[in-house]
Amino acid sequence: MKKRLLAYLILIFCLIACAREKPYVKILRPPPSKIIALPETEKGKPPEYYVVNGKRYYPLPDSHGFVQYGQASWYGKKFHGRPTSSGEIFNMYQKSAAHKTLPLGTYVEVTNLSNRKRIIVCVNDRGPFVKERAIDLSYTAAKEIDLIGPGATDVKIVALGMEVGKLESEKGFKPLVKLEDPKKGEFSVQVGAFKDKKNALKIADRLKVIFSYVTVKRHVDENRMTLYRVHVSKSNTLNQAGTVEKRLEDMGFTGAFIVRI
């Protein structure tokens, strides 16, 4: 029994030592925000982006599991009647929103954290391009959650899904939205991303003694730099992945984080 315990402690020590070989990417867990790597594109081309005030923004490929805390503001007369980024004409008296990176057409629930009032709006525009601001609401949407007076307030933003059609009713048309459950799917835990493939394989081989699923995935970023990501475990729910993440953190992998695969 003592020999097994000693062997286990030695293994953990080796894993921690290897994990501290300065992985190229170390990502901290949210809240309030997190860093993700966008999916690879064909022939190494970077994904589409747009530039505002010298900053580059990459629209997200989807809104799965998106939750954000930040400040909301509102816009009205100055932009009323102008085209939005989606091509629709902005109407300050309709409920809509602008967001820098969520896919256009995404429905989000916005909660005013000062009074807990909520509203569901569709993202049809880009912005706000002001520091600390996460989302812009149209005048009518902002009025519904008492945002007009203060002008800006702390909110929680939860993505609900994309519109897939419309349903005719007595009052007009209702949007049909495909809802994604952010807690279900296929998840893994990334313990590190390395420039040196040998370091990634070394960690993977050692972790295979403890975990049944360990893999190294090659990724080429927008600067054509190759990284080797070490993923551990496959889980069908976010809770299961969280248990693995906690176990890895206890083993010394403090930069471990959950990824959807």
- Domains of the chain plus CATH, in order, are 15-30+183-260 (3.30.70.1070), 63-179 (2.40.40.10)
Alpha-carbon distance 174 to 21, whole Å? 54
Mean of pLDDT over the chain:
78
Quick check: pTM over 0.85? no
Alpha-carbon distance 122 to 99, whole Å? 10
Q: Write phi, then psi, for 73 (nearest 5 degrees).
A: -130, -175
User: Has residue 182 got a pLDDT over 60?
Assistant: no
Alpha-carbon distance 134 to 155, whole Å? 9
Q: Which of 85-94, 143-152, 164-173 has the lowest mean pLDDT?
A: 164-173
Tokens standing for 36?
A: 């993700």
Using a pLDDT cut of 70, give the percent of the chain over it. Answer: 70
3-state secondary structure string, the chain? Answer: CHHHHHHHHHHHHHHHHHHCCCCCECCCCCCCCCCCCCCCCHHHCCCCCEEECCEEECCCCCCCCCEEEEEEEEECCCCCCCECCCCCECCCCCCEEEECCCCCCEEEEEEECCCCCEEEEEEEECCCCCCCEEEEEEHHHHHHCCCCCCCEEEEEEEEEEEEEEEEEECCEEEEEEEECCCCEEEEEEEEEEECCHHHHHHHHHHHCCCCCCEEEEEEECCCCCEEEEEEEEEEEEHHHHHHHHHHHHHCCCCCCEEEEC
Tokens standing for 39?
A: 């999916």
Contact between 226 and 218 (Cβ < 8 Å):
yes
Reported as a single tens digit per residue, the pLDDT across 117-150 is 999 899 999 999 887 789 999 999 999 999 998 8
Would you give the distance in Å from CA 156 to the centre of its chain? 14
Q: Which of 4-13, 163-172, 227-236 has the lowest mean pLDDT?
A: 4-13
User: Has residue 199 got a pLDDT over 80?
Assistant: yes
Angle between helices 197-207 and 2-19 (to 10 degrees): 160
For residue 187, the tally of other CB atoms under 10 A from its CB is 24
Beta-bridged to residue 75, according to DSSP, are 138
Who has greater pLDDT, 17 or 208? 208
What does the pLDDT read at residue 28? 31
Nearest C-alpha neighbor of 251 from the set 5, 4, 6, 14: 14
User: What's the rounded mean pLDDT across residues 168-184?
Assistant: 61
Residues found in the chain: 261
User: Has residue 204 got a pLDDT over 50?
Assistant: yes
Beta-bridged to residue 34, according to DSSP, are none
What does the pLDDT read at residue 245? 85
User: What's the rounded mean pLDDT across residues 76-105?
Assistant: 91
What does the pLDDT read at residue 141? 95
User: What's the rounded mean pLDDT across residues 232-238?
Assistant: 85
Alpha-carbon distance 158 to 55, whole Å? 24
What does the pLDDT read at residue 77? 92
What does the pLDDT read at residue 26? 32
* Backbone angle region of 172, left / alpha / beta, with phi > 0 → left and psi within -120 to 50 → alpha: left
